[in-house]
Amino acid sequence: MASQHPIIEYTSQASWAMIEDKFSPYAKETLAKLIKFYEEEILPARKLAHAQLPTDEVQRWKTVIPVIEELKVKAKKLGLWNLFLSKAHYPEHGVPLTNLEYAVMAELLGRAGHMASEVVNCSAPDTGNMEVLAKYGSPEQQKKWLIPLLNGEIRSAFAMTERHVASSDATNIRTSIRREGDEIVINGRKWWISGTGDPRTKLYIVMGKSDPDNKSSYNQQSVVLVPTDTPGITIVRPMKVFGYDDAPEGHCEIIYENVRVPLGNLVLGWGRGFEIIQGRLGRVKFFLVEQRLIFFRRPGRIHHCMRAIGAASEALDTMLRRVTDPSRKTFGKYLHEHGAVIAEIAKSRAEIEGARMLVLSAALQIDKYQAKGALKEIGIAKFVVPSMALTVVDRAIQAFGAEGVCQDQELAKTWVGLRILRIADGPDAVHIQQVGQRELKRVPGLVKKAAELAKREKALFAKAGIKRARL
């Protein structure tokens, strides 16, 4: 029997029983501390954080939300900081937690939206950027950018996607990155660059083409560190997500026009950009490049999936409170007395439990075998979990009627946050394709097994003296 850890209230006895023995005493203690911090500090501050973001079109992009900064100080003091960065993968900068242990913590944080992750310095896009710098940054790059990011002093953005380019295939990226003497010159137009609006964002990690004529389309790209105050950068506009601007971070369109940075700002080396970007997105692959098998050995990130389980769980809890509200009766019954409503609740619970298992198993695989041994699990989680969570949130919205789609409830914003995952965390069509292709690779083995079985069956029939099978 699993111990009575407070996490059971947020996940389930069964899932805790499956993973408890894989948690270190430190992880159990940190998780308990996180739950207390979540209940006593993060949750009560959520509405205040919203209220502290000005509605003024200009001011909302210049604001650092005070209560978030106050909570960051408290979280750091408690050791609830950079929980995502596993020491096993990042020995120098990481914390002694596994991906599996973090998965449970991220699920809890996912219940309280973007703010909760930021408070413990575990929010996108900084997490992926810190991983890039921790893995590939030079000592100077790490000192200048990684350390302030790890300390939560600055924020960062990752600039890959381009307006006129199908960017889910990173080989299409056109932004030009070229060397001129001791400098790198960047020209291009990016959009949907998350974090651009935040006044604390001091760094763009920019991906572009440095060698468009290279015969390998995977060696044409490079990644460069660009301070946000470099001349030649124009922020054109924040993009709106179903009408939300997501200020103060935002997702902006940016022009880089003759932007010059020192040669030392190149990450990893010329032509290594694709390697960096694939690892960052968790779409880890093998490529045959000039007869060399290149394997991108990086822990694939499934943080969005982990948080999406939490968002779905929170939506179900919200729905339960609504349908049992004694003041709401329709057609002579309370909402929860309608069979259709109970069915929606049961389906939601079942789907959350199933999806959590996918996420936990993917996290465990990453811990054991790195991303290399977890490609299937990562891919499946990335296309199953956001859709599952969307369905659950949609049911909760339905239970709230008109109130579910308006600003009085978190549900509409939660739905939007999940909907974008089906595009922004690598379009799910791409993950589906990759998982499908991996399945097809099993066919020769399956055919061989079927042939062996047919042989054994035939021998059995011969022995029994029966000519034809009857089914």
Ligand X SMILES: Cc1cc2nc3c(=O)[nH]c(=O)nc-3n(C[C@H](O)[C@H](O)[C@H](O)COP(=O)(O)OP(=O)(O)OC[C@H]3O[C@@H](n4cnc5c(N)ncnc54)[C@H](O)[C@@H]3O)c2cc1C
Binding residues (CB under 6 A) for ligand X: these are: 125, 157-161, 166-168, 192-194, 241, 251, 420, 423-424, 427, 429-430, 433
Alpha helices per DSSP H over 20-162: 25-37, 43-51, 66-77, 99-110, 113-119, 126-136, 139-141, 147-150
Other C-beta atoms lying within 10 Å of the C-beta of residue 274: 25
Least Cβ distance, residue 355 to ligand X (angstroms): 20
Least Cβ distance, residue 161 to ligand X (angstroms): 3
Asked if residues 27 and 98 have their Cβ atoms less than 8 Å apart, the reply is yes
Nearer to ligand X by Cβ, of 357 and 430: the residue is 430
What distance in Å separates the CA atoms of residue 71 and residue 40, rounded to the nearest whole number?
11
Least Cβ distance, residue 424 to ligand X (angstroms): 4
**334 in helix, strand or coil?**
strand
Least Cβ distance, residue 189 to ligand X (angstroms): 12
Nearest Cα residue to 100 out of 376, 364, 456: 364
Nearer to ligand X by Cβ, of 357 and 432: the residue is 432
**Tokens of residue 199, six digits:** 């006044």
Nearer to ligand X by Cβ, of 238 and 299: the residue is 238
Nearer to ligand X by Cβ, of 283 and 322: the residue is 283
Alpha helices per DSSP H over 246-374: 273-281, 303-323, 339-369
Cβ within 8 Å of residue 152, ≥6 positions away: 72, 76, 81, 121
Nearer to ligand X by Cβ, of 163 and 328: the residue is 163
**Tokens of residue 470, six digits:** 């009857």
Asked if residues 86 and 299 have their Cβ atoms less than 8 Å apart, the reply is yes
What distance in Å separates the CA atoms of residue 303 and residue 292, rounded to the nearest whole number?
31
Nearer to ligand X by Cβ, of 104 and 157: the residue is 157
Least Cβ distance, residue 177 to ligand X (angstroms): 15
Cβ-in-10-Å burial (0-12, 13-18, 19+) of 321 comes to: exposed
Least Cβ distance, residue 163 to ligand X (angstroms): 8
Least Cβ distance, residue 368 to ligand X (angstroms): 28
Residues in the chain: 471
Nearer to ligand X by Cβ, of 241 and 357: the residue is 241
Nearer to ligand X by Cβ, of 94 and 427: the residue is 427
Least Cβ distance, residue 174 to ligand X (angstroms): 12
